[in-house]
Structure 1
Amino acid sequence: MNHNTPLSPLPHSHLSDVQRRVLSSAQLRAHGVSTARTTAQCRPGGPWQLLLPGVFLLHPGPPTSEERLHGALLYAGRPVIPAQGKTGTAPGYGEAMVTGLAALALHQFSSAPPLLSLDRIDVLVPRTRRLRSTGCARLVRAHVLPRPEEITGVPVAPVPRAIADAVAQLADANAVRRLLTEAVRGGHCEPAAVVKELNSARLLNRPHVVDAVDSLLAEGRALAEDRLYALVREHGLPDPVWNVDLRLPGGPHLGGVDAYWPEQAVAVELDTRAPRHDEDALWSEYARKREHLERLGITVVHITPRKLREAPEQQATVVRTALMAAVDRDPAAYVVVLPR
């Protein structure tokens, strides 16, 4: 018997090829294969082998990277067995999902090692799951699980969570920096989402992670500024003055803005805050500055890097509407505009 031999009594036409080569003990029993038969098949020189506790590889020889992924998920999760006589969908893995470097490889990160070179596959599971890491499966427990993404039929943690789980295992500062940089440059996610996960994982007390985060935030702001320049240019908005400080004549400093239209008294500010320990203080500073400017009659448009990336046309409409509405407002207070 091998993975090409039909299993009974349940049909397995709904299974992918790899799911026919790697099955759990529960799945084998559902297909009519007894524990004794499974044990016999796994004897030295036999056609099957034990991949992980309760998970069997239905061919001799080393497992492929895809088989290791599937096996780790079967071990960590609770596969769904379709009712007898029903094909249903392919077996699931409960709430388990691939995370860490394996997940980043599936997200096609060039800075992540190839799957076959990884000694272990990180699998994210609920904290109540009572299993131990073993063999090629390393369990990562979470109080709250993110919504997985499906890549080639495999449930995979979103990039920010996968990065946090990968960074938790890395002591190489350059490797951490490469992963964080690719996440932003590759358009996988915004810096704030990564920093939020790193903060939740309590990794921001590691010096090499803090240094990488500082580089990440600088990279993210530069990309957001480039997208803001492109938004003004490509959507036919009038040219503003860029990156300026606003002051009252002979008075206090009002704050810096990323773009300002003096005639319309409209300012755009990129909200590149990242959730760290000082998030509340940062937000209070943002709010105070915005309220002060608006009391002076200056309209402040806040734009996040994510909105600039995902909905630039909508953000251009918001800015254009603010500029057009200026003619119906009372004149703003005169402010001095200085380069920053």
Structure 2
Amino acid sequence: MNHNTPLSPRPLHHLTEAQRRVLTAAQLRAHGVPAAEVNEQCRPGGPWQQMLPGVFLLHPGPPTSEDRLHAVLMYAARGPVQEPPPGVPAQPTARKPHRPVDPEAMITGLAALTLYGFSTAPPLLSLEKIDVLVPRLRRVRSTGFARIVRTAALPVPEPVTGLPVAPVPRALADAVATLADADAVRRLLTEAVRAGHCEPAAVVRELTQARLLSRPHVVDAVDSLLAEGRAIAEDRLYRMVREYRLPDPLWNVDLRLPGGPHLGGLDAYWPEEAVALELDTRAPRQGDRPDEDALWSEYARKREHLERLGITVVHITPRKLRDAMEQQATVVRTALMAAADREPAAHVVVVPR
């Protein structure tokens, strides 16, 4: 066998070209390729090369971005993907040969954002490091272009181009952790919301859990993110009223009792029907009460007070507006129609905000 022969024909000839680009040492052994032959193929000028410890590129030339992604997943995986010997059919429930997918290892950080199509994330081949998320107790270290990111609780990965990828909020937090450029952080967070990848609250929650809100440039970017998210949610609300032909409300008002206390601000109010609508754009911040019940307590108190006065309160999240606008329009319309069957509400003073 000379150095121009890319693969050992006996054990590997049955594999497709895509399958035999990147393999682990264990997978090569399973195909009958001994360590001595691997070392021979990986000699300077040889057709193979070691990409990461125990992970080999089985063709000459530089690795592609796909090769690098597969390599970091294989390196971080708990063990090799086993496959049946040649001629033995795989069981219906068996894992696909050479699929570099470990449910406990997934691409995260900037590489993940690039896979999601972020225009503000760098090209994969320009990344010096590819972040891979693993359980905290996984016994593997960062090396070469593989940067290990540990977590106590793994999220459910999203399949992107056949690879397991961390959800956008988690990937953003892991990317932000590596960035000191305030403009780069702001661009990534803004695109996440503006392009509809996720809601601000989910991003802020991940940044809080990662303890990144102690960094001034991250705090500034989050303020811009929340403002961006609020503007997008309000635009969707206007569009919902227009497209589903709801009666025009009074927009952005405060309610007060005559000569009495302030009752709170509302995003929309239908005075004749005594129906109020409020967008929930709150997001947990460092130092806030972490439990969901506490985060909702402010809204609950306001809602209870208004409903005691006979005002129906409709509570809508930006995510519901994005994913189920028609359903939310039906909720509002139902509340407006039900006004005729309710007792008249207490008189309140409506003041523009």
What TM-score range do you get, normalising by the shorter chain?
over 0.9
* C-alpha contact (below 8 Å) 2:252/2:352 kept by paired residues: yes
Match of 1:139 among 148, 154, 157: 148
Q: Does 1:93 align with 2:101?
A: yes
Q: Does 1:316 align with 2:329?
A: yes
Question: Which digits, 9 at most, give the CA deviation of each residue in 1:281-301, with x for residues without a partner?
Answer: 653221111110010000000
* Structure 1 match to 2:56: 56
Question: Which digits, 9 at most, give the CA deviation of each residue in 1:13-59, with x for residues without a partner?
Answer: 5xx71x42110001111111111111111111111111110000111
* C-alpha contact (below 8 Å) 1:10/1:30 kept by paired residues: no
What RMSD in Å do the two structures reach over aligned CA positions? 1.6
Q: Scaled by the length of structure 2, what TM-score is found?
A: 0.92
Specify the code of the residue in structure 1 equivalent to 2:284.
Answer: P
* Structure 2 match to 1:193: 202
- Distance, in Å, in 2 between the alignment partners of 1:245 and 1:3 is 73
* Structure 2 match to 1:65: 65
Specify the code of the residue in structure 1 equivalent to 2:304.
Answer: E
- Distance, in Å, in 2 between the alignment partners of 1:10 and 1:131 is 31
Specify the code of the residue in structure 1 equivalent to 2:311.
Answer: I
* Structure 2 match to 1:290: 303
Q: Scaled by the length of structure 1, what TM-score is found?
A: 0.95
1:8 counterpart SS class: helix
* Structure 2 match to 1:223: 232
- Distance, in Å, in 2 between the alignment partners of 1:11 and 1:223 is 53
- Distance, in Å, in 2 between the alignment partners of 1:5 and 1:339 is 77
- Distance, in Å, in 1 between the alignment partners of 2:111 and 2:339 is 52
Specify the code of the residue in structure 2 equivalent to 1:98.
Answer: I
* C-alpha contact (below 8 Å) 1:105/1:114 kept by paired residues: yes
- Distance, in Å, in 2 between the alignment partners of 1:33 and 1:239 is 73
Greater shift in the superposed pair: 71-80 or 226-235: 71-80
* C-alpha contact (below 8 Å) 2:7/2:58 kept by paired residues: no
Greater shift in the superposed pair: 40-49 or 213-222: 40-49
Question: Which digits, 9 at most, give the CA deviation of each residue in 1:262-309, with x for residues without a partner?
Answer: 000000000111022324665322111111001000000000000000
Structure 1 pair 104/308, CA: closer, same or farther in 2 (3 Å)?
same
* Unaligned residue ranges in structure 2 (runs of 5+): none
Structure 1 pair 149/244, CA: closer, same or farther in 2 (3 Å)?
same
* C-alpha contact (below 8 Å) 1:10/1:31 kept by paired residues: no
- Distance, in Å, in 2 between the alignment partners of 1:267 and 1:38 is 70
Structure 1 pair 6/194, CA: closer, same or farther in 2 (3 Å)?
farther
Q: Does 1:329 align with 2:338?
A: no
2:251 counterpart SS class: strand
1:51 counterpart SS class: strand
Identity of aligned residues (%): 74
Return the offset for 1:5.
6.0
Question: Which digits, 9 at most, give the CA deviation of each residue in 1:38-87, with x for residues without a partner?
Answer: 11111111111111100001112211111111111111113321233234
* Structure 2 match to 1:278: 288
